[in-house]
Amino acid sequence: MEKEKKSPVSDVGAWGMNIVSSVGIIMANKQLMSPNGFAFGFATTLTGFHFSVTALVGLVSNATGYSASKHVPLWELVWFSLVANASITGMNLSLMLNSVGFYQISKLSMIPVVCVMEWILHRKHFSREVKIAVAVVVVGVGICTVTDVKVNAKGFLCACVAILCTSLQQISIGSLQKKYSIGSFELLSKTAPIQALSLLVLGPFVDYFLTGKLLSDYKLSTGAFFFILLSCSLAVFCNISQYLCIGRFSAVSFQVLGHMKTVCVLTLGWLLFDSQLTFKNLLGMALAVLGMIVYSWAVEAEKHPKVLPSHLSEEDLKPLKEGVAESPLKDVVIGESKV
């Protein structure tokens, strides 16, 4: 199956949905989990709620015939879900054990890690322009977000697990879609129930280890319940759009262009939560956006191979034709092989 790419309009729609839903869920979770908000500090369990609602949407969609269910071996679904859950748990542990600065560096390192894993697993090569654009994005987002950098042995190990599992998960999304000719939403509807069940069972224990608090001791208010529902609703769109984007493009593109969300979060944090926006932040944001533009141009340029200039005369092309005609290996007409 080819990558899910219908039209430029639907491509933009998929990216737009991912950016809006991702930024929205960050803002909602900030209010829900902040000590100044509703202090719901059970991030892993909340993720279990997210996948539960996503699984419910997938079940309803299949039952109503809106989406078709294709066969994917159970062991592959379980393996993918374990990797995805290890990614979530690793990220939470990394944030708890490391400084915010090192946590941001670990997230930035996913871009080169995804590139290396794509090269190892799929023998994918990247042009010089793409590599330069990736470097510019990493530097720009790094300037925006990285502050103090402190790390310890346990935190470093958790960060490594998170980076590897997240990168492998994002690459696997595209690989499974291609291998089994399955759409983004259909794949998500198959993996979401497994992730929901495992996270709801293990989540409270992981959260207790992270926070020292029991979920059963939390006093649920009307406001907290509303933001949990809002977070779960946004998570459905966020999950669907993530699978759509990776299915249409690649894990590398998702990582690079996905840092537009970082720029949006910084801007909205300044507008809505009185966060400080310094010259350093603005410089980093400008570099990151520039890198994303260059990356988009470089990827698009790779899709269109270079062709001979159309203004060449017949006399100019004659030596080329004669040289090709003498070749016993293949029949070529101005650079095109006939098979």
Interval 251-269: pLDDT, tens: 666 666 666 666 666 676 6
Torsion of CA 286, 33, 24, 58, to 10 degrees: 130
Task: Give me the residues paired with residue 337 across strands.
Answer: 332
Domain chopping of the chain, boundaries = 14-303
Q: What is the mean pLDDT of residues 209-218?
A: 88
Positive or negative torsion for Cα 29, 34, 36, 41:
positive
Least confident of 34-38, 87-91, 121-125, 332-336: 332-336
Interval 284-296: pLDDT, tens: 777 777 766 776 6
Tell me the chain's radius of gyration from C-alpha atoms: 23
Of 131 and 218, more confident:
218
Residue 119 in this model has a pLDDT that exceeds 90: no
- Residue 99 CB burial class (10 angstroms; 0-12, 13-18, ≥19): middle
* 274: three-class secondary structure by DSSP: coil
* Residues above pLDDT 90, as percent of the chain: 16
Assess contact for 163 and 86: CB atoms under 8 A: no
Q: What are phi and psi of 333, to 5 degrees?
A: -120, 105
271 is written with which tokens?
């507008």
pTM above 0.75, yes or no: no
Torsion of CA 284, 285, 289, 294, to 10 degrees: 0
DSSP H helices in the chain: 8-33, 43-63, 74-97, 100-108, 110-122, 128-145, 153-180, 184-211, 222-248, 251-258, 260-272, 279-303, 314-325
